[in-house]
Structure 1
Amino acid sequence: MTNPAALSPDEARALFRDGLRTPTAGWCAGWTQANLLAVPRDHAYDFLLFAQRNPKPCPVLDVTEPGEVSCALFCGDLRTDLPAYVVYEDGEPVAEVTDASGVWRDDLVAFLIGCSFTFESALLAAGVPVRHVEQGRNVPMYRTNRPCRPAGAIGGPLVVSMRPVPAHQVADAVRVTARYPAVHGAPVHVGGPAALGIADLGAPDFGDAVEVRPGEVPVFWACGVTPQAAVMASKPPFAIGHAPGHMAITDARDADFLVP
């Protein structure tokens, strides 16, 4: 396959539509990736309010009308053009599929939520390592002991992603990512995972464990899987999300979300 970083969003989405399942970190360099959550119209306002009250983990980039399967930010088909989806019933994950068209409903409202993959090219350009890309793995993600502010019927814990950073480069990682507030921005925690209620970095709730080397500090960013943790905690009757780490590759540029 062509270098995934060199692909356009259209080219990547065509591969996913044909059944390729893969984490998307490092794909389509310069193009913004997004988390997906689709909920029935009856729950869409509660989720929009939940996102407004919790902008760090849930920065909304775009929202569809009920039943729409594309939007200004994503010109493909949200039912087929991601590498993998999780289907929820009453808060329980009941299936993982590479094509959600058979379960997509006409009343679904789809939310695209900012993703920290967007700032990883900037981290690499600043000389900050991105370990899951180095190791060809999915980013590790963890539920925390920090509750999000609830909204209506929706509530749940903050989820974070973790990247090990050499101690002398932590300030650089904070500085670089703070310039991307629409895609989670600066870290929410630096250092000991126990402060977030994380018992074992080697056992993430989502994604893959990565190596933390001597002299490195675990750095945690708010994560767009938080909405799916809220689905599992709040148990709406139906929802569809991306499989964690298997993102929607949008038609926006990473630079669109960079602030001075």
Structure 2
Amino acid sequence: MDVSMLTPAQARSLIRQDQWNKPTSGMSNGYIQANLVVLPKALAYDFLLFCQRNPKPCPLLEVTNIGSPIPEIFAPEADLRTDLPEYYVYKKGELIQKCSSISDLWSESLIAFLIGCSFTFEEALVKNRIPIRHIEERKNVPMYNTSIRCQPAGEFQGSMVVSMRPIKKKDVIRAVQVTSRFPSVHGAPIHIGDPKSIGISQLDEPDFGDPVTIKEDEVPVFWACGVTPQAIAKDRKPDLMITHAPGHMFITNERNEGYSV
């Protein structure tokens, strides 16, 4: 099955029926993918403010109505309780559960946030003949905690998480140009080159995802990542936070090009 050719509805149906439990990079090419954060309404304003103050790691796409798991703007026939391949459940900062559905955890006090994902601009990179290593190697994108501090907002403060893609030296400028067109899904890289200068000691030991091959003619390029709220959850320990598992995104009905500049 060529999952790149699936419509978003077909991809979500596979996921909902537990027929796809892997990362979604490369699925439904041409459509925006999103990170998920679910919080009690008591924490929702602080998190909304955190996204507003930190648009690179947390470019906000949609916020659901209180108690509703339906993303009315990006996929009104979808259900955020079942339509992601894997969820992480945090309580007091501890990851207590990994699951393929959060229907039994949902309550009328919860609010869901959809945040732009860098998987969205990968199609544009490929169209510009810039290969994506984690897709080539059938892995999850490598993601790292950094020393880059986010702007705090109430309960939410901490450091940024980044995703990394090896890019040929001759293609780095083009990769910056291409991804700059997608500010709603992290946009341009936040760092190019030496990982130690942003607090990353070992590229072959990502904090999330899988290590990938970096060739001699390539440099590591880092983009702000929507896994940042999970790192914040571990640091600040909110009573409850539910997120996507890293790399296991929500596939929306909206096309990538509709959100490019």
Deviation at 1:233?
A: 1.2
Could you say what secondary structure the match of 2:13 adopts? helix
Unpaired stretches in structure 2, ≥5 consecutive residues = none
Could you say what secondary structure the match of 2:161 adopts? strand
Letter in 2 for 1:49: L
Deviation at 1:105?
A: 2.1
Alpha-carbon distance between aligned partners in 2 of 1:208 and 1:221, rounded to the nearest angstrom: 16
Letter in 2 for 1:182: S
Deviation at 1:74?
A: 2.5
Question: What corresponds to 1:105 in structure 2?
Answer: 107
Alpha-carbon distance between aligned partners in 2 of 1:122 and 1:154, rounded to the nearest angstrom: 32
Q: Deviations over 1:153-174 (max 9, x none)?
A: 1111100000000001000000
Question: What corresponds to 1:82 in structure 2?
Answer: 84
Letter in 1 for 2:43: H
Could you say what secondary structure the match of 2:105 adopts? coil
Could you say what secondary structure the match of 2:103 adopts? coil
Alpha-carbon distance between aligned partners in 1 of 2:43 and 2:208, rounded to the nearest angstrom: 25
**Structure 1 residues 43-82: aligned runs within 5 Å:** 43-71=43-71, 72-75=73-76, 76-82=78-84
Bigger Cα displacement from structure 2, 100-109 vs 153-162? 100-109
Question: What corresponds to 2:96 in structure 1?
Answer: 94
Question: What corresponds to 2:23 in structure 1?
Answer: 23
Alpha-carbon distance between aligned partners in 2 of 1:93 and 1:214, rounded to the nearest angstrom: 37
Question: What corresponds to 2:211 in structure 1?
Answer: 209
**Structure 1 residues 1-260: aligned runs within 5 Å:** 2-19=1-18, 20-71=20-71, 72-75=73-76, 76-259=78-261
Deviation at 1:229?
A: 1.2
Alpha-carbon distance between aligned partners in 2 of 1:51 and 1:237, rounded to the nearest angstrom: 19
Unpaired stretches in structure 1, ≥5 consecutive residues = none
Which TM-score applies when normalising by structure 1?
A: 0.98
Alpha-carbon distance between aligned partners in 2 of 1:189 and 1:56, rounded to the nearest angstrom: 12
Q: Deviations over 1:99-152 (max 9, x none)?
A: 111112221110000000110010011111110011110000000011111101
Could you say what secondary structure the match of 1:213 adopts? coil
Alpha-carbon distance between aligned partners in 1 of 2:94 and 2:108, rounded to the nearest angstrom: 21
Could you say what secondary structure the match of 1:51 adopts? helix
CA RMSD for the aligned pairs?
0.7
Alpha-carbon distance between aligned partners in 2 of 1:118 and 1:79, rounded to the nearest angstrom: 21
Alpha-carbon distance between aligned partners in 1 of 2:240 and 2:187, rounded to the nearest angstrom: 30
Runs of 4+ in 1 over 6 A off after TM superposition: none
Could you say what secondary structure the match of 1:102 adopts? helix
Alpha-carbon distance between aligned partners in 2 of 1:195 and 1:130, rounded to the nearest angstrom: 24
Could you say what secondary structure the match of 2:115 adopts? strand
Q: Deviations over 1:164-213 (max 9, x none)?
A: 00001000000000010110000000001001110100010010110001
Alpha-carbon distance between aligned partners in 1 of 2:212 and 2:107, rounded to the nearest angstrom: 37
Q: What's the % identity of the aligned pairs?
A: 52
Q: Deviations over 1:62-99 (max 9, x none)?
A: 00011111121133100001000000101111000011
Which TM-score applies when normalising by structure 2?
A: 0.98
Letter in 1 for 2:112: A
Bigger Cα displacement from structure 2, 110-119 vs 13-22? 13-22
